Amino acid sequence: MSELITNIGELMTQNLEVGTVHNAAVVLDGERIAWIGDGAKAPAADTVTDAGGRALLPGWVDSHSHLIFAGDRTAEFEARMAGESYSAGGIAVSMNATRAASDYELTRLALGRAAEALSQGTTYLETKTGYGLDVENEARSARIAASMADEVTYLGAHLVPAGSDPEDYTDLVCGQMLRAVRPYVKWADVFCETGAFTPAQSRRVLQACADAGLGLRVHGNQLGRGAGVALAVEFGAASVDHVNYLSDDDVALLAGSWSAWDGGAGTRGTVATVLPACDLSTRQPLAPARRLLDAGVQLAIASNCNPGTSYTSSMAYCVTTAVLQMHLSVQEAVRAATWGGALALGRETGVDLDGRRAVGSIAVGHRADLHMLNAPSATHLAYRPGIPLTHAVWRAGLRER
């Protein structure tokens, strides 16, 4: 079945050859985008959808979330709003609730969060383990994540559980736990921060996971300057996330990591993924997204949806914040939340080993993941903050909303 979406007021493709087109049309053929162009020249299709002059964007690509958890941390949030600062210790509260939840309950909760994201335009979703923190519960979290997310990341190195020796726990993360999650995950991550994993422990985790054939990601430089960015670049991680506290050397390392990449071939660098909703919820200084872009770093914006630091799956909220408070243009912020997220997951081009099409931009042959706003332009995301602007969502060519 083919579908013609016509009368699109603003088509923001994030495809550099096409750019943004007005009075445009798109044809979907099954799960793929088959045609893009001037509405007056659109070919016929089996069905026609009139966009009524609305804006059409790629679906959001949320490259950083933690959806596999049970329990509630409202009290911690309230304490933070009253002046307490965030520390990694709250992860243990979610760990206890997650371990106590049944498979059915954990799956139901995760699916509910993914559905909430999809209804707001998120059509491609990464999620992580990291609230199990023993072999059985990390493997269970990975299995559940693989049943509901597009990309799954192993985050056994999220927190050293109370009572465990940090070096022994790091051994477990690098050994038995890694073997148990391996069938379900494509990526590995480590929280390299004071109070979580030291640079030496993080290095061990990254090496073991790289040796196991996993792609790498790092939670780094969230609560202070540290080794996260340097380790991520050294190990060729696909992304380093948070990046609130950066030295000039960190920024230069990230920019330099892209110097041999020409947009297609060449060695890929490390994407800097900023998490604006997390920065607001933890009252951290906002990550320096403007400085990173100006330095030539590839940028992604993600929700970091999790029970502790960022309990929202709204990518629109993140984009709005990036424009209003991080000083990105609407085009830059939308790009970082679509194409940038796809780049951070290695999914912005080509077809992956499972035959999945590229996501994050509207281009012929890419997966038909589309987000229509109830507005004439994407500028309304920042101009009308807080207004639920999602009008329609297509995922792999299927109308989801």
Ligand X SMILES: N=CN[C@@H](CCC(=O)O)C(=O)O
Task: List the binding residues for Fe(3+).
Answer: 64, 66, 219, 304
CB of 235 to ligand X, least distance (A): 18
**Binding positions for N-formimidoyl-L-glutamate:** 131, 306, 308
Q: Which stretch binds Zn ion (CB under 5 A): 104-112, 167-175, 176-184, 304-312?
A: 304-312
| Cβ proximity to Zn ion, 304 vs 361, nearer residue | 304
Q: Which two tokens stand for residue 112?
A: 């509910």
**Tokens 């892209």 -> residue:** 258
- Contacts to ligand X from residues 292-321, by CB under 6 A: 304, 306-309
The answer to the question of residue 304 lying near Zn ion (CB under 5 A) is: yes
222 binds Zn ion (CB under 5 A): no
Nearest to 316 by CA among 289, 299, 337: 337
Q: Is residue 276 close enough to count as binding ligand X by CB under 6 A?
A: no
In the shown chain, the binding pattern of residues 230 to 269 toward ligand X, with x for contact by CB under 6 A and - for none, equals ----------------------------------------
Contact partner at residue 91 from ligand X, Zn ion, none, CB < 5 to 8 Å by partner kind: ligand X
Q: What CA–CA distance (Å, rounded) separates 391 from 120? A: 9
Q: Name which of 94 and 123 has its Cβ closer to ligand X.
A: 94
C-beta atoms surrounding 284 within 10 Å: 19
Partner whose binding site includes residue 270, from Zn ion, ligand X, none (CB under 5 to 8 Å by kind)? none
- For residue 106, give the amino acid letter: L
Q: What is the dihedral of CA 336, 338, 339, 341, to 10 degrees?
A: 70
Q: Which stretch binds ligand X (CB under 6 A): 5-13, 90-98, 166-174, 209-217?
A: 90-98
User: Which member of 13, 15, 65, 94 binds ligand X (CB under 6 A)?
Assistant: 94
Residue 94 near residue 131, CB atoms below 8 Å: yes
Annotated binding site for Zn(2+): 64, 66, 219, 304
The letter for the amino acid at 238 is A
User: Sheet harboring 215-220: ordered strands across?
Assistant: 60-62, 122-128, 151-157, 187-192, 215-220, 239-242, 271-274, 299-301
Report the C-alpha gap between 340 and 60 in whole angstroms: 10
Which residues make up each annotated binding site for 4-imidazolone-5-propanoate? Answer: 73, 131, 158, 222, 309
Chain residue at closest Cβ approach to ligand X: 308
Using the rule CB under 5 A, give the single segment among 36-44, 92-100, 106-114, 297-305 that binds Zn ion.
297-305
Q: Compare residues 21 and 243 and give the one whose CB is closer to Zn ion.
A: 243
Q: Which helix (H) or strand (E) holds 155?
A: strand 151-157
Kind and range of the H or E element at 174?
A: helix 166-174
Residue 181: phi and psi, rounded to 5, are -90, -20
Site for ligand X (CB under 6 A): which residue of 191, 235, 245, 394?
Answer: 191
Amino acid sitting at position 366 = H
91 near ligand X, rule: CB under 6 A: yes
3-state class (DSSP) for residue 168: helix
Structure tokens at 351: 């077809």
Does position 222 bind ligand X by CB under 6 A?
yes
> What's the rounded Cα separation, in Å, for the pair 20 and 10?
7
Q: Which is nearer to Zn ion, 202 or 304 (CB)?
A: 304
Summarize as ranges the residues that interact with ligand X (CB under 6 A): 90-91, 94, 191, 219, 222, 278, 304, 306-309
Summarize as ranges the residues that interact with Zn ion (CB under 5 A): 304
